[in-house]
Chains A and B, each alone.
Chain A
Amino acid sequence: MATMAGPSRLIGAPIKRREDPRLVQGLSHYVDDIKLVNTLHCTFLRSDYAHADIKSIDTEAAENLSGVVKVITGSDIAGKVGSIPCAAEIEGLKVPDHPALAVGRVRFVGEPIAAVVATDPYVARDALDLIEVEYDELPAVVDLDAAIESDSTVIYDEFDDNIAFTMPLDAGDVDAAFAEADHVVSQRFVNQRLIPNSIEPRGVLAEYLPGEGTLTVWSSTQVPHHLKTILSLLLDLPEQLVRVIAPEVGGGFGSKLNVYPEEAVVAYLATQLRKPVKWIEKRSEGFTTTIHGRDQVDYVDMAVKNDGTITALRAKLLANMGAYHQLLTPIIPVLTYLMMPGAYKIPNIKLELIGVFTNKMATDAYRGAGRPEATHIIERMVDLAAQKLGMDAKEIRFKNFPQPDEFPLEMATGVTYDSGNYQMSFNKALDTVDYASLRARQAELRGQGRYMGIGIATYAEICGMGPSVGVAGGGWESSTVRIERTGKVTVLTGVSPHGQGQETSFAQIVADEYGISIDDIVIIHGDTGRQPQGIGTFGSRATAVGGAALIIATQQVKEKMAQIAAHMLEANADDLVFEDGNIFVQGSPDSAVTFADVAATAHVAVNLPPEVEPGLEATHFFEPSNFTYPFGAHISIVEVDPETGEIDLQRYVAVDDCGNIINPLLVDGQVHGGIAQGLGQAMYEGAVYDENGQLLTGSFMDYAIPKATQVPRFETEHTTTPSPVNPLGVKGVGEAGTIASSPCLVNAVVDALSPFGITDIDMPMTPNRVWQAIQDAQ
């Protein structure tokens, strides 16, 4: 880049969000806020059984209800709506057919069986009660360990067992390391099933114009571009005539990184009925049929030396797929597998990852997606090893961290960590809490019969999802930057923010580069009709990959602008500065052309330099060279009441290193929200199915997401280790809080209860469970 940017004014500043005025006034438009004339309303009849053959479906009474326009079942759309796809490519992966509406058999509670369309949403609900379904119940497969036993019911007739895939790893010499170990620690972990629960339920609105042949779908999705492509394939429509719009989207956390049966069915119905069709998820449907997260049972052994050196890790990971693969279902535990060593150099690793079908809702990406599981395992194992060695939890971590000069660092699992300085973030956290005095305080309280615990999690995670070789469906991102005739800047991005705030942070990047006001920049996202190519927002990738595409496109346009400005100023383009809305030769701000004048010149096109074409627009596709690997250290302080099992979370300190920071206000918001969700897993949340595969935690009465009174104030700090894999040096921060916080809190509670001889406790650490653990230990 020849031209110099003006002084950096906005990158790194806590700019308040440009999204907010519309949101705080209730003036934004989520899917259900979009009203089209003559819209019909869709509802879904869902399976009451986890596993059953459908003997018959009688829809006649529903069809006869006044106001009902159409009722369809699986057989009505067979061959017309394709199988809901899974993008995972894993050797030997079993991929069952996934019809949008069940045909012949149902495999989880909530599986859609029929769809009703009516002129009124209340009538559409009434009609569901008039549909009669006769079932033949089959034994439900619900337990992960039992599902892979030879006597288990097999869910798919076409497969021999319930194993969806197995993935082995044998790096180094694990057997020798265990033979030579001074100590071996072993533990079984249950990483319980979670339900994402974005506060906006899912929703779809579809409109088909038969004359033009265009299908427009508004969906509460994180991946409008994937949805566009997949809908065109599922419905056999030309992709260029399908437009997907993700309007305002009310949270996703991975649960909207998917293509769901309802999206396909509603779009299909719109093409058939030739009127707009809308479906808005009820919360009860969200609990049963929006993807779930986690759900692993992990058997882990660790070999350690007397000095605390970890020499080997061996694990069998059982990952619950649920009944069908959704878009990325089998991929999620692969991230656990890749990140098993966490922040530690462990040369010998032997793993067996087994994906298992059960009669439950599919699991898929939920904030952290595979890395919270890995971090839970490794951070708990490190503490267990320290406990066994009588070593401080701090010392064992320093003992096994790689040194900062060892990056990029290839791990035994095959991934290469981009950059890191784990000592720096951990030291900052230890200093913040004054670790030595905390341990002294703990000893003092123990003397008084009080149970204070200090929990540590030093994590490394994988994010910035790209490069494409590692991300199903593509790991690149695109951005278009266009300077309009008036000098206003339009930025189109393929990422699809739904709360992350890129309308602000992306504008900060562009404003600095062009030396113009942030108010002159508009960021357009979530619309395949405006930005045709993109991947979406997930895996803490939007800024690391989408921001990188954006800065490069911004610079490409800037180079052309500099050529035009140089022609106008009779100067050399290499000498120009962009500052305060002006472009001038460095040192000569008095003879400037304005940014807007240069934009006008580019469009009027009568005073362009030779060989320069009119217009100011560039599109860039950015392919990162590697993932990014954020890291950090979280410390929590708890006191446990042994009489009640209640946990008093007194302090939570997070030091995160997410590389360079564009907007610290937004980064803090991401960390807070992330910690709250990890805290939810550690202390409150858990999806419970009974032995028949009925979801017992199907409402907010039974599934406890944290309330304002249930989370403390978080203290956030940062260290900055730029990533070398993108031009912004950013790593991503959306998931870090979730990844670190659940093991951090479990480590704190186990530390508090270690005088009882307690070495592990399952999540969620409810008072009853904590109390029971104390009783069992006594």
Chain B
Amino acid sequence: MNKSRKQINTTINGEDYTHEVEPRLLLVHYLREVAGLTGTHVGCETSLCGACTAIVDGQAVKTCTMLAVQADGAEITTIEGLAQDGELHPIQEGFWERHGLQCGFCTPGMIVAAHQLLERNPNPSEDEIRHGLEGNFCRCTGYQHIVDAVQYAAEKMQG
């Protein structure tokens, strides 16, 4: 084993991964370049835009400012892990139904952030949705259809 590299074990979207990585490798680059899951995007590398958001041990995390070695032992869900058995997750469905995306680049991070928002508050008001997504930038939609999409998902998830 290369001395400067560290072995990490992660579970991503239910699958186990073991890799040796440079200690400085960012988690987002681990997900994209090592695990091959390119749905998590890099938008600013400064933890401001939210395009890189993934769920790490139950928390929505901006993976551009976390090291891969910090995720050793973690359970990670990325955008690729939300749909189950070919069925879109209700949030994904909401974004599709309500035209909650245009270029789609912010969308995975936005959906993952909305996932955490609805976990904490299953029936949010419009203001609460907007505050919950404050850390995720969208330059295309003006956010209105994103709010509509999250409302759609909230209703659907409550049955």
Contacts and interface: CB of A to CB of B under 8 A. Distances in A.
B102 A198 contact: no
B67 to A, nearest CB: 12
Interface residues of A, number: 57
B37 interface: yes
Given A17-B96, A283-B49, A713-B126, 11 more contacts: A20-B104, A26-B79, A27-B39, A35-B36, A199-B138, A250-B104, A673-B139, A674-B142, A708-B130, A708-B143, A714-B144
B139 A708 contact: no
A32 B38 contact: yes
A669 B143 CA distance: 9
Contacts of B78: 26
Contact of B43 (A283, A677, A706): A283
Interface in B40-80: 40-46, 48-49, 51, 78-80
Interface string B71-103: 000000011101100001000100111010111
B79 A25 contact: yes
B154 interface: no
B102 A27 contact: no
B141 A199 contact: no
Interface residues of B, number: 57
Contact of B45 (A283, A677, A711): A283
B139 A705 contact: yes
B145 A709 contact: no
Interface string B109-132: 001000000000000001101110
A283 B44 contact: yes
B157 interface: no
B38 to A, nearest CB: 4
Nearest to B22: A122
28 contacts: A17-B99, A20-B96, A21-B96, A24-B96, A25-B39, A25-B88, A25-B92, A26-B38, A27-B39, A28-B104, A35-B36, A122-B25, A198-B105, A199-B137, A201-B42, A248-B104, A251-B102, A251-B139, A283-B46, A499-B140, A669-B102, A672-B143, A672-B144, A673-B142, A677-B139, A711-B144, A713-B126, A714-B144
A707 interface: yes
Contact of A666 (B38, B48, B79, B99): B99
A500 interface: yes
A25 B37 CA distance: 11
Contacts of B111: 24
B69 to A, nearest CB: 14
Nearest to A671: B142
Most buried by B among A25, A122, A706, A708: A708
Nearest to B80: A26
A651 interface: no
Nearest to A280: B42
Contacts of A700: 44, 46, 48-49, 137
Contacts of A17: 96, 99
A283 B65 CA distance: 14
Interface in A660-703: 665-666, 668-669, 672-677, 699-701
Question: Which 4 residue pairs are nearest across A and B when measured between Cβ atoms?
Answer: A26-B39, A250-B105, A499-B103, A23-B104
A251 B103 contact: yes
B133 interface: yes
B12 interface: no
A325 interface: no
Nearest to B112: A26
Interface of B is mostly: loop
B147 A199 contact: no
Contacts of A33: 32, 38
B27 interface: no
A581 interface: no
Contacts of B44: 283, 699-700
A25 B130 contact: no
Nearest to B129: A708
Contacts of A708: 129-131, 133-134, 136, 138, 143, 146-147
Given A21-B88, A198-B139, A499-B104, A29 B130 contact: no
A249 interface: yes
A522 B1 CA distance: 49
Contacts of A500: 102
B24 interface: yes
A16 B97 contact: yes
Nearest to A701: B48
Contacts of B39: 25-27
Contacts of A673: 102, 139-142
A307 to B, nearest CB: 39
A200 B101 contact: no
A452 B41 CA distance: 42
A25 B101 CA distance: 12
B18 to A, nearest CB: 21
A707 B38 CA distance: 25
Interface string A1-42: 000000000000000110111011111111011010000000
A605 B131 CA distance: 63
A16 B102 CA distance: 11
A498 interface: yes
A766 to B, nearest CB: 19
A197 interface: yes
A24 B101 contact: yes
Contacts of B43: 199-201, 283
Interface string A715-752: 00000000000000000000001000000000000000
Nearest to A283: B44
Contact of A253 (B38, B136, B139): B139
Contacts of B129: 708
Nearest to B111: A24
A532 interface: no
A769 to B, nearest CB: 23
Contacts of A676: 141-143
A499 B143 contact: no
A707 B51 CA distance: 13
A16 B130 contact: no
